Amino acid sequence: MSKAKSSRDRRIAPSGVARVTRSSINPQDSQRTKPTDSGLVDDLSLMSVSEQQASLARKGKSHQTSSPSTKAVLSSPSGSSVPRGALGTIGRLMKLGRVRNIVVVAGAGISTASGIPDFRTPGTGLYANLAKYDIPYPEAIFNIDYFSDNPHPFFSLAKELYPGHHRPNYVHYFIRMLHQKGLLLRMYTQNIDGLEKLCGIPDDKLVEAHGSFATAACHLCYTPYPAEEAKQAIMNGNVPICTFCAGAVKPNVVFFGEDLPEKYFQHAEDFPKADLLMIMGTSLKIEPFASLVNTVKSTVPRLLLNRDPVGPFERRPLRRCDYMELGDLSDSVRKLAEILGWHTEIQDLMNSHENGLCSYTDPSNSSGDNSDSSETDSMH
Please list the active-site residues: 210
Judge whether 218 is annotated as a binding position: yes
* Residues facing 143 on adjacent strands: 256
For residue 317, cis peptide bond before it (omega within 30 degrees of 0): yes
Rounded to an integer, what distance in angstroms lies between the CA atom of residue 297 and that of residue 164? Answer: 39
Rounded to an integer, what distance in angstroms lies between the CA atom of residue 148 and that of residue 134? Answer: 16
Whats the size of the chain, residue-wise? 380
> CA distances (Å), 216 to each of 19, 190, 371, in order?
19, 18, 17
Judge whether 321 is annotated as a binding position: no
Judge whether 242 is annotated as a binding position: yes
Residue 203: closest CA among 358, 362, 21, 319: 362
Asked if residue 305 lies in contact with residue 280, where contact means CB atoms within 8 angstroms, the answer is yes
Judge whether 199 is annotated as a binding position: no
> CA distances (Å), 261 to each of 12, 147, 241, 267, 289, in order?
16, 19, 22, 12, 12
Between the two ends of the chain, the Cα-to-Cα distance in Å is 28
Rounded to an integer, what distance in angstroms lies between the CA atom of residue 334 and that of residue 325? Answer: 12
* Residues facing 74 on adjacent strands: 82
| Helix locations, the chain, DSSP H | 7-10, 41-44, 49-58, 86-95, 144-149, 152-161, 170-180, 195-198, 227-235, 267-273, 329-340, 343-354
φ and ψ at residue 207, rounded to 5 degrees: -120, 110
Asked if residue 154 lies in contact with residue 134, where contact means CB atoms within 8 angstroms, the answer is no
Binding site per annotation, positions for Zn(2+):
218, 221, 242, 245
Binding site per annotation, positions:
218, 221, 242, 245
